[in-house]
Structure 1
Amino acid sequence: MSNEEATTITPPSSSDSMNDKLSRYLPISLNPDGSFTRLAEIPNTPASPDPNSPSPVLSKDIPLNPHNQTFLRLFLPRHSLRRSAAAKPPLIVYVHGGGFILSSPANPSFHNFCSEMAAYLGAVVASVKYRLAPEHRLPAAYDDTMDALYWIRASEDEWLREFADITNCFLMGTSAGGNIVYHAGLRAAAEADDLLPLKIGGLVLHHPGFGGSKRTGSEIRLADDQMLPEFVLDVVWKLSLPIGADRDHEYCNPTVGSESAALDKMKLLGWKVMVTGCDGDPLLDRQMEFAKMLEKKGVEVVRQFDEGGYHGLEIIDPTKTTPLFAGLKEFTTISQ
């Protein structure tokens, strides 16, 4: 397979059907009409807002748009209830992964990740539930993330007003969530004055999900990756991009987009962008190309690329979160 091969959904080379093989990675089954069926409900972790509960981090759900069934799950370290109101940490607005097609802030993996992040940073984390593709293709998730920012901007919620500094906010996303954070971030930069008093200090793209029509070296090298094989990437993009769009659409491949004005505004606002990844991720080359593109536009980039690992490592293995959270803590401190 050459670098010049265009992206298509290619049937697996084994005797297994596409759906048999796909079900080993994603709980979905493709339908002949291009839609898919979710085979199983992912278990949910309920929010725990009771201050008398034993949890070191409290959580609660707040509706955003009832029509779209979107919401925010807020995470508050218990010790914040005893902290001086004058010492407010940054607010982290987090966007979960799931290939744009699965999951929510209530997914146990993402719930636990946000809870641990809130505890480590001593910060309020606001995790966004956005609409999923293919029922709601991109840019629906970008729209929902912007809805969350505008809600936070005007909210009188006690956890946000008393225990978070919304004038020092960071947007963070994992995998597909990293893609969403970047595109919502472009909009937020263009609309920065309208978002006041909410002020964004930077973006954190954790193993961000980007693509393109030509395969990269890391995609070819890890075509049979156990976490994110080539054909799963093909399926996810086919289901999430606007109908008829290829993988050089700006939503997928930011290096061919025309967002120079928004990036100029991001630079003018002094935002920094942290990009994390690892060499066991098929998307590594995409992430490094993305970081180079930002630097060429004059945006300051903080890179945290590790040896080994795999896509979404820290979400799947909580014992690996400390280096990521330590880098995030430093990043949110130096960006103030």
Structure 2
Amino acid sequence: MSDHPFAPGSVPFVDLGDAFPPVLVVDPAMDVLHDRVLEYVASLKAVELVEFPGQEHAFFVMELCGEASDELVMRHTLAHCQQHLSNIIYTTMSSTTSPASGVSGELPPPTHVVEDCLGFLQLLSDGTVKRAPAPLVLHNADDDTSAVRWKDVVYDETHNLSVRMYVPSSAIAGDETKLPVLVYFHGGGFCIGSFANPGFHAATLRLAAELPAVVLAADYRLAPEHRLPAALHDADTLFSWLRSQATLTGSGDPWLATAADFTNVFVSGDSAGANIAHHLAVRVGSGSLAAAPVRVAGCVLLWPYFGGEERTASETNCPSDVFLTLPLYDQMWRLALPATASRDHPVANPFGPESPDLSSVELPPVLVAVGGRDMLVDRIREYVARLNAMGNKSVELAEFEGKGHGFSIFEPDSEAAAELVRVVLRRFVHGGAAAAAS
């Protein structure tokens, strides 16, 4: 067969009929293949062409955080393909859980989809959970030309959980004083996501470079295979692993031994990861989780994913053109919480009827960031107000007008994302938290 899809002898596309799926073609206008791509689109059945003026071949790979890459993922690919994504992904999805077999010789009843979460996770009626393939594992541990080096380290062999360690190269070389440590948990409603996802990887890489800091981005067990509080238990395990690294002399990880200031540790995360960070800070502050010789200097919560049975005004009036909508919010809580639990469960609602009293908990200074168009903005404002009203907490709220949930992940080149990292977070991590504590 020829490499040309329309050369003599090639399979006629017109004969494929409905067997050929909808097609989205991305065409960088400065690509040497631009004219050939246009010919392909014109010759094919109905397709959608998205052209990016000024961009070159493979711009999405070469400029991961560029505006064109962001537009491709968020405005075109996701929006166009979401209704077809299941058909594409599930051909290669693997079952992560499967029920016991039925009586020998009897066919099991037909299954149907109970929950479909953004096409990345599917819960079937027989209890089987199917997931999209895991992201490609990357590392540059041996690349001493990069401004930031990273590598994956197993912190929990029992559950095969890893942490991605990001360290500025100059700190590994011992060229500067030791850096603060940012323990970071990714978002995803407790159901999806990984530190290896391109958006999260780019965000944590940026934090390491621009704060600067040693960033430890941890994976944790996901629901519904591992419902809450499994993720919180994994956070405890990670923190205990970090404590062990702080006590090891000569036998710990060499990057941490050289670069990490274990007396200046910040627990942090975005969305569900911020929820995890909150609970980790509470357990350390209440004394239920040992910390020494690690000192938790602060807590950074980016648009924390909290819940509650009573709707807030911003939840009720959630706009329809944002990523986190009320149906998605409710679905992820259904998948993540214990089967009979409500959104007032203590993991979801820090001020729920069965939640512990936080007034006596010695929390470190807390920085909370949220977008003004985030569905959770009212719930997050209430969280900040109630903690500050206790009189013995220092909680700062940074609100970004007009921005939605996860804006620094989805809009990395925006002015708001730059302000969040280079001004708000940098100030808090390098002195602001210490000033608030004094």
Tell me the TM-score normalized by structure 1. Answer: 0.86
Pairing 1:330–2:330 present? no
**SS of 2:398 mapped into structure 1:** strand
The C-alpha deviation readout for 1:95-146, integer Å capped at 9, x for no partner, is 0001101111111111111111000012110011111111111111111111
1:293 corresponds to: 386
Is 1:67 the equivalent of 2:158? yes
- Shift in CA distance, 183/288, structure 1 to aligned 2, threshold 3 Å: same
Give, as a single letter, the amino acid of the residue that structure 2 aligns with 1:323: E
Helix, strand or coil at the partner of 2:360: helix
- Give 1:317 deviation, angstroms: 1.8
What is the identity, as a one-letter code, of the residue corresponding to 2:372?
A: D
Amino acid at match of 2:404: Y
Distance in 2 between residues matched to 1:223 and 1:317, nearest whole Å: 18
Kindly indicate whether the alpha-carbon contact (under 8 Å) linking 1:174 and 1:206 is maintained by their aligned counterparts in 2: yes
Deviation string for 1:252-293 (max 9, x for gaps)? 111225432x552324xxx11111101111111111111112
Distance in 2 (CA, whole Å) between partners of 1:263 and 1:151 is 28
| Counterpart Cα distance in 1 of 2:386 and 2:240 | 28
Of residues 157, 173, 183, the one that matches 1:93 is 183
Determine the structure 2 residue equivalent to 1:313. 407
Q: Is the 8 A contact 1:45 1:111 kept in 2?
A: no
Partner of 1:49: 141
Q: Which residue of 1 aligns with 2:193?
A: 103
Q: Structure 1: which amino acid aligns with 2:277? A: V
Inter-CA distance 294–225: structure 2 relative to 1 (3 Å threshold): farther
Deviations 1:131-163 (A, max 9, x none): 111111111111111111111111121221211
Matches for 1:221-300 after TM superposition, within 5 Å? 221-222=317-318, 224-256=320-352, 257-260=354-357, 263-267=359-363, 271-298=364-391, 299-300=393-394
Q: Say whether 1:158 aligns with 2:254.
A: yes
Which residue does 1:126 correspond to in 2?
Answer: 216
Distance in 1 (CA, whole Å) between partners of 2:370 and 2:119 is 22
C-alpha distance in 2 between matches for 1:264 and 1:225: 41
Cα–Cα, structure 1 residues 24 and 105, in superposed 2: closer, same or farther, change >3 Å?
Answer: closer
Question: Who is 2:51 aligned against?
Answer: none
Question: What is the match of residue 7 of structure 1?
Answer: none
Q: Give CA-to-partner distance per residue, 1:206-234, whole Å, 9 cap, x none.
A: 01101111211111111534301111111
Stretches (4+) displaced over 3 A: 22-26, 33-36, 81-85
The structure with higher relative contact order (CA 8 Å, sep 6+) is 1
SS at match of 2:413: helix
Question: Residues 168 and 34 of structure 1: is their aligned pair in 2 closer, same or farther, counting only changes over 3 Å?
Answer: same
Q: Which of the numbers 170, 177, 192 marks the counterpart of 2:266? A: 170
Bigger shift: residues 140-149 or 75-84? 75-84
Measure the CA separation in 1 of the matches of 2:336 and 2:314. 22
Q: Contact 1:189/1:265 (CA < 8 Å) preserved in 2?
A: yes
Does structure 1 residue 135 correspond to structure 2 residue 232?
Answer: no
Inter-partner Cα distance in structure 1 for 2:411 and 2:308: 28
**Residues 66/263 of structure 1: CA separation in 2 closer, same or farther (3 Å cut):** farther
8 Å CA contact 1:75, 1:118 repeated in 2: yes
Contact in 2 for aligned 1:146/1:184 (Cα 8 Å): yes
Query: Matched residues in 1 for 2:418 and 2:151: separation?
Result: 25
| 8 Å contact from structure 2 (residues 188, 271) kept in 1 | yes
Alignment check: 8 A CA contact 1:25 1:227 kept = no
Distance 1:193 1:105, change over 3 A: closer
Shift of 1:297: 2.2
Matches within 5 A, 1:176-255: 176-191=272-287, 194-222=290-318, 224-255=320-351
* Structure number with larger C-alpha Rg: 2
The answer (yes or no) to whether the contact 1:291–1:301 under 8 Å persists in 2 is yes
Report the aligned-residue RMSD: 2.2
Aligned-partner Cα distance in 2 for 1:219–1:35: 31
Indicate if the aligned counterparts of 1:90 and 1:169 stay in contact, CA closer than 8 A.
yes
| CA shift for structure 1 position 193 | 7.8
Letter in 2 for 1:309: K
C-alpha displacement at 1:173, in angstroms?
Answer: 0.6
